[in-house]
Amino acid sequence: MSADPVLVLQLRRLGDLILTFPLLLELGRRYQGHPLWVAADPRFFQELMPLAPQAVFFPPEHLPAMAERRYAAAINLDSRADAAACMAKLTAPLKLGPVAEGGALRVKGFWQLYRTALTRNNRHNAFHWADLNRLDVLPPGSPWPSPAARPERVREGRVGLVLGASEPAKRPDARFWARLAGRLVRSGLVPVFLGGPAERELGEEVGRLARLPQANLCGRLSLREVAAVMSGLDLCITPDTGPMHLADWMGVSVLNLSMGPVHARETGPVSPGQWVLRAAMSCVGCWSCQRHRLACKAAFSAEAVARAVHAVLDHPKDIRGDAEWPGLQLLRTGRDELGLHTVDPVGPAPSVGRLLEDFWQGAFLAFSAPGFEPLLERRAKALLEAQPVLAGRLRAAVDRLLTGWARQGGAPLPEDFWLTQPPMLRIFAGHAQMALQNEDYSRGAWRSALERAEQLHTALA
């Protein structure tokens, strides 16, 4: 009798599916001898199968039949109702992610619950989604899996411009792309405009404005053909979008223009050694902008991006700061001592936002396993030494939270509870509230919430 399969459900976007690939590599190693099944959108997996880890892919229509099976493990990375229903009906000793259970939606796994709680509440999140996909399966400290490194190749001066994104706020407009393409041409580079059918008109407009109609390949290539073009690029200049993750997975050098409601530490290029350019603003990384204009997008200029392109192509080891692109910040991706994704500024010291991100990363790692308590203590000490006033305010907010919960007496929290907390505390408050809801405000859930708040109080004392 053949071994039970391992099932992964990821039914959404192209980028989400590609960010699942590191998890698939891990599962293939952890469950050797077990077939790996993936339910995904056939528009994407049919084109990606030659580049994906070894797996059998199924369209969503197969979910009812898949629910009748037994699996060695089942992991739901999707928020769709039919995925949660499938998880409820199938049999597996390990279930992770959303499951429709007892007339309610339950989220299985510490890190899957953490990620679910980030919805509209991701300020100060320090974990990349590709890491969150795998942390319930393989703990921090495990090596980062990736395909073979890209072989050395002769530089040909070809750069790709991925024009589109899931929404206009996340990408430059046609005039910006045209100005950038013109500057690249004048400096001896050869731009190629890439995008799918949705970018056909945008590509034509950029080609017309830049007087480079021959550079436009938007809507003319299959996804597999786009990947083939990318393999010949010296650099891929791209907003946060599915093709960016494709280039990153393939080992193509990426310069991510991180603008709009995206967080480079969360959904940017995940492989070490990639580049991110974003606005030098404290509010970058929000879920949705509350300003009357997108200042994080307006900070970009074609001239500054062109200078950044030449910096990363011509002398990447000599970049010392951000003087050549005022109002913007250049960062480099990497992996820390725990094997977790990092995106570090080139030049300036860590910002207040970065210190808070690191603190909360240490806190949630400590919540997940006692062995990370020393890490939380180090991160808290770094925050206390660099920003004593801010750390004091955070400690006071934690104390007020503890006092309020003591008065709560185990009763359910108001739906807007997490929104009433100070922004620096909301990532904890939102997670705690969702954890309580996930366990119907049981005594054990309340005990965990109070113990975690006490951990924060002690670390910040």
Concatenating the DSSP letter of every residue in 60-101 gives GGGHHHHTTSB-SEEEE----HHHHHHHHHSB-S-EEEEEEE
CATH of range 158-348; options 3.40.50.2000, 1.20.1740.10, 3.40.1110.10, 1.50.10.10:
3.40.50.2000
Q: Helices in 135-290 by DSSP H: which ranges? A: 174-186, 200-210, 223-230, 242-250, 264-267
Place 403 in a pLDDT band, splitting at 50, 70 and 90: very high
| Residue 326 confidence (pLDDT) above 80 | yes
Nearest one of 208, 230, 213 to 221, comparing CA atoms: 230
pLDDT in tens, 85-106: 999 999 999 999 999 988 899 9
Helices (H) and strands (E) in the chain, counts: 19, 13
Retrieve residue 69's tokens. Answer: 């099976």
| Residue 21 confidence (pLDDT) above 80 | yes
Retrieve residue 251's tokens. Answer: 């080992």
Q: Report CA torsion sign: 101, 131, 18, 56.
A: negative
| Residue 349 confidence (pLDDT) above 70 | no
d(CA 360, CA 265): 13
pLDDT of residue 149: 61
pLDDT of residue 81: 95
Q: Collapse the DSSP code of 18 into the 3-class scheme (helix H, G, I; strand E, B; otherwise coil) and give the result.
A: helix
Q: Report CA torsion sign: 440, 446, 449, 451.
A: negative
Report the mean per-residue pLDDT for the chain.
Answer: 92
DSSP-derived letter for residue 128 is -
| Residue 325 confidence (pLDDT) above 70 | yes
Q: Collapse the DSSP code of 423 into the 3-class scheme (helix H, G, I; strand E, B; otherwise coil) and give the result.
A: helix
Query: 49 near 31, Cβ under 8 Å?
Result: no
Delimit the domains of the chain by residue range: 6-134, 158-348, 355-460
pLDDT of residue 407: 85
Place 71 in a pLDDT band, splitting at 50, 70 and 90: very high
pLDDT in tens, 134-186: 999 987 766 666 655 666 667 889 999 999 988 888 999 999 999 999 999 99
Structural class in CATH, domain 6-134: alpha beta
Assess whether the region 6-134 and the region 158-348 belong to the same CATH fold.
yes
pLDDT of residue 146: 61
pLDDT of residue 353: 83
